[in-house]
Amino acid sequence: MLKILNYKSDIKEIKHNNFSSETYYLYTDKKNNSVICCDDLKELINSNLIPKKLEIENEAIFHLFTTSIVPPPLTVYKNLFKVGQGLKANIKIIDKKLDINFLENKNNNKNENEKNSFSNDDEHFILEKLFSYIQKNKMEGKPNYLFQSSGKDSNMIALSYSLFGKSKDLTCLTYNNNDEFYYANKISKKLGIKHIMLEIPDIKKNIFEVKSSEYFEKLFFPNTDNAFLGYFLYNDGMLNRECNLIDGMGNDIYIGHIPKRYEFTMQFLSNFLSKFNFITKHTGSLIINELFKKKIFWPGLVGLPTYVNKKILKDYKDITKFYDNKYEKDDNYFDIRSKIRGRYVDLEKFIMKLQCHAQATDSKAIFPWTDDSLSNYFINLDKRFLYSKKNLKNKLILRNILEKRLGINFDNIGKKDFKFDFWKIMLWNKIFVKETILNSNLFSNKKYLLSYLDYLFIMASRNGITSNRCKILLNQIFQICLWYNNSEYIKK
């Protein structure tokens, strides 16, 4: 719903619902001394209350290139703000002029209550809430697609459809990635749910250039997730129409952010190595920047070195200090990971990935695990039912439910993500990738930028410690530039 607030309005506070994927957007109309408030991005874009083309917020661009996300309340546009996870906006009236003050709750992710125990009745409650959330939020008469990995979150959603006799109403989608596809397909068959293999067809280079430019022209916000390019290419554009897109993201922040063992080990080393972080200000070497990066970057903040950003972005300001005060001194790494990855990376990169595609295709992005009653249930549950820090295992309840109903031990499957071979596309279209980046007006030092792109491509082709990081960075830069060069919403 869209509202216009002025100095006479009664609304003085706008607050984000904890753990919800929904959000409020605020546009400050200084000319009319008003604030446009809306919880539906599509409605806001299509209204006549904001400019058809918006000015870019440079600070947000600095965030994108440094960490791959834009943290709320910032957005990539001037005068447009986002009331995201843990935030609230206080609207003050000073001499009849509106002023917005954003406040945050640093401790909103902590589970202090350990008194509630899991009972067998709770199993039905969880599955029912997942199913009912989708039914409440979906578009009627449109296909229902679930992005299904071999993980626990998406398969709980698939199980909920089977439990309520609606297996035929759902289609599961899995990218063809060996074990990932094998397990997802096996589970779908067991539940009687249609399963489709997602594939990227062989596409001519000139057609990819046209299709990607047309797709990014419709994007209001940028996204840097590695899998984002797949959406408009899968199965000859199968998802480029109105449909309900269901995703299992959104529950790690309240069930328990447990890192992979490598990440958990490296964050211990960073207690010592990050003391030398000052060295990274003077070199673009990815090995050095990886080795000496701060602990806050380990949960998924990925971007170009500060040294490189200073070289290529005009008037660049180091924004890394933004995250320094986002956690308490006594927080352990599990707390830090929840606050950084759960609050920023998951919401503003992974979840927004699907929201961006839905916005561009008039589809509906649905995240059942962000249901209020589900998050409230889990946040008040004894931690022993949620995760084991000692064994680096989370979602213990979900593992038990799925093993009981499907006969599959998810411990044997291991942790697998919904993967997508983005690098194949990048290599196949290398010339277009470089041209897109070099032709962007975001950059000031094109000569240095070209040499650094060459460096990234060379390092990406090797099997060294930074090979994968180079691939990710090239993909991120490419997607930012594709959006900036083509989006119809940007005032250039």
Tens digit of each residue's pLDDT (9 = 90 or more) over 65-77: 999 999 999 999 9
Domain boundary among 54, 77, 93: 93
Q: How far apart are CA 417 and CA 148, in angstroms?
A: 10
Instruction: Count the domains in the chain.
Output: 2
Q: Which range is least confidently modeled, 16-30, 40-54, 424-438, 462-476?
A: 16-30
328 pLDDT tier (thresholds 50, 70, 90): confident
Q: How far apart are CA 355 and CA 362, in angstroms?
A: 10
Residue 130 has pLDDT above 90, yes or no: yes
Claim to verify: residue 89 and residue 192 sit in the same structural domain: no
| 309 domain-assigned | yes
- Which 8-state DSSP code applies to residue 349? I
| Average per-residue pLDDT for the chain | 91
Claim to verify: residue 81 and residue 127 sit in the same structural domain: no
Average pLDDT value for residue range 140-160: 95
* φ, ψ dihedrals at 97, nearest 5°: -110, 140
Provide the domain limits for residue 48: 2-93
Claim to verify: residue 244 and residue 338 sit in the same structural domain: yes
Which residues are bridge partners to 5 per DSSP? 35
- Count other C-beta atoms under 10 Å from residue 386's C-beta: 21
Claim to verify: residue 74 and residue 125 sit in the same structural domain: no
Residue 438 has pLDDT above 60, yes or no: yes
Which residues are bridge partners to 36 per DSSP? 4, 27
Q: How far apart are CA 94 and CA 99, in angstroms?
A: 7
For the stretch 378-413, pLDDT in tens is 989 998 889 988 888 889 999 999 999 998 888 777
For the stretch 277-324, pLDDT in tens is 999 989 999 999 999 998 899 999 999 999 999 999 999 999 988 998
For the stretch 182-210, pLDDT in tens is 889 999 999 999 999 999 888 888 899 99
pLDDT at 383: 87
**CB of 78 within 8 A of CB of 55?**
yes
What six digits make up the tokens of 276?
Answer: 């030398």
| 104 domain-assigned | no
Closest CA to 348 of 63, 150, 54, 46: 63
Residue 99 has pLDDT above 90, yes or no: no
Question: When comparing pLDDT for 480 and 252, which is higher?
Answer: 480
Which residues are bridge partners to 194 per DSSP? 171
pTM: 0.94
Beta-strand ranges (E) seen in 167-223 are 171-175, 194-198
- Which 8-state DSSP code applies to residue 108? T
CA angle in degrees (0–180, nearest 5) for 235-239-242: 150
Q: How far apart are CA 107 and CA 126, in angstroms?
A: 25
Distance of CA 164 to the CA centre of its chain: 30
